[in-house]
Amino acid sequence: MAKEQARGSRNQDITLDPWGTVEVKDYDRLLKVFGIKPFSDVMPLLKKAGMEPSLHMKRGIIFGHRDFDKVLEAKAKGEPVAVLTGFMPSGKFHFGHKMTVDQLIYLQRHGFKIFVVIADAEASIVRKIPRKEAIRIGVEEYIASMIALGLDPKKTDFYFQTSRGTSYYRLIQLFAGKITTAEMEAIYGDISPAKVIAALTQAADILHVQLEEYGGYKWVVVPVGADQDPHLRLTRDIADRVSDIINLTRPASTYHRLQRGLDGGKMSSSRPEYTIFLTDEPRIARMKLMKALTGGRATAEEQRRLGGIPEACTVYDMDKYHLMQDDELSRIYNSCRSGSLLCGECKLLAWSKLEKFLDDYKRRLEKARDIAWSIVDVPKF
């Protein structure tokens, strides 16, 4: 068994389950345990590849990578590079999703070809989402949202898993012959036939863009949250194992911190009271933000005396991941720490940005929905 896979996905207090709930408390430890490299290692290579660091890179939100240095070196030499990411159409589009799309937009502007898979097969077999609903969500919530946020549909290959071509399916079958049940259990723990198919389909999603008919991209990076790392390790091992039949390069990956929900728990469509959706009515979004868990003290007097704790604050997360420019963010951080800013006032600052964003986004989304239906090959059944 290859080295990366042998680490499994469970290690003492850290469990990575792409289908479950993952809370990572110590990212440095996660890097060590799973053999992910710190993203700071590749920061000096960005310039050679003609790239300025993105907001997520500068703020440490993207914290790790596997082989992204190789992708940047290839790009610096003028070789074509690509990104693949996927979304499961199982709920409404929220700010955690937006973070991934912001990365895609950044990479697209730097010349990466973008592939976005709507994982409708996985939504049906693992999450039991009715087919028609999965397709509607895929187009109207996900593809439309990505276009509304600024991803250029002319330079993006959006596709549904169930409407991809024969060679893509051929890869899934090929991969199935290269892995054992025991190895799948070592990576994923409890595994069902549906999850096996979903995992191998994801491996095909990541690797098929290297086939000539999909562009022949040798250097592919997959931006993910740490919870998705088991899929990456499986796919990298599979790329090695099929080398007797087909030449596929191991994919690279970057890892971002998962934005917390507004109670400090998981941000998820299944926890709507703690998750702001991009289509939330202003009244609802405001209410959620005003009730959000902060790093403030019990009383105003105490906060003025001791200062707040931005690292513990979910409003600060919204500022850091989405809302504030660098100078605004550092002003908020320092004023919070010194106690000169109180949480009520700070939430209103965040709301003034969020309200404008949601208003602009709503108008862009209406147009983007029509475009979304027209550019994607919608599955027939």
Using CB atoms within 10 Å of the CB of residue 76, give its burial: 0 to 12 exposed, 13 to 18 middle, 19+ buried: middle
Selected binder of ligand SF4 within 86, 261, 296, 379 (CB under 6 A): 296
Give the separation between CA 74 and CA 378, rounded to whole angstroms: 34
201 vs 40, 176, 194, 197, 212, CA distance in Å? Answer: 31, 10, 10, 6, 19
Selected binder of ligand SF4 within 336, 365, 368, 376 (CB under 6 A): 336
Told to check if 295 binds ligand SF4 by CB under 6 A, we report yes
> What's the N-to-C CA distance of the chain in angstroms?
38
Shortest distance (Å) from residue 16 CB to ligand SF4: 29
* For ligand SF4, the closer CB: 172 or 324: 324
Structure tokens at 333: 């951080």
* For ligand SF4, the closer CB: 252 or 341: 341
* For ligand SF4, the closer CB: 10 or 337: 337
Shortest distance (Å) from residue 182 CB to ligand SF4: 47
* For ligand SF4, the closer CB: 39 or 95: 95
Shortest distance (Å) from residue 162 CB to ligand SF4: 44
Note whether 87 and 118 are within 8 A (CB).
yes
* For ligand SF4, the closer CB: 196 or 342: 342
Shortest distance (Å) from residue 301 CB to ligand SF4: 14
| From 188-196, 229-237, 343-351, 356-364, span contacting ligand SF4 (CB under 6 A) | 343-351
Residue 331: CB atoms within 10 A of its CB come to 14
Give the separation between CA 84 and CA 340, rounded to whole angstroms: 44
Told to check if 339 binds ligand SF4 by CB under 6 A, we report no
* For ligand SF4, the closer CB: 233 or 322: 322
Told to check if 294 binds ligand SF4 by CB under 6 A, we report yes
Told to check if 276 binds ligand SF4 by CB under 6 A, we report no
Structure tokens at 147: 């276009």
Using CB atoms within 10 Å of the CB of residue 163, give its burial: 0 to 12 exposed, 13 to 18 middle, 19+ buried: middle
The 313-332 contact track toward ligand SF4, x by CB under 6 A, reads x-xx---------------x
| From 38-46, 163-171, 226-234, 305-313, span contacting ligand SF4 (CB under 6 A) | 305-313
Matching residue, tokens 């309200």:
355
| From 15-23, 72-80, 340-348, 355-363, span contacting ligand SF4 (CB under 6 A) | 340-348
Shortest distance (Å) from residue 59 CB to ligand SF4: 14
With CB under 6 A, what is the number of residues at the site for ligand SF4? 14
Shortest distance (Å) from residue 96 CB to ligand SF4: 19
Told to check if 343 binds ligand SF4 by CB under 6 A, we report yes
Q: Considering only CA atoms, which of 149, 167, 150, 267 is closest in space to residue 208?
A: 167
| From 56-64, 190-198, 210-218, 339-347, span contacting ligand SF4 (CB under 6 A) | 339-347
Bin 81: left if φ > 0, else alpha if -120 < ψ < 50, else beta: beta
Residues that bind ligand SF4 (CB under 6 A): 294-296, 308, 310, 313, 315-316, 332, 336, 341, 343, 346-347
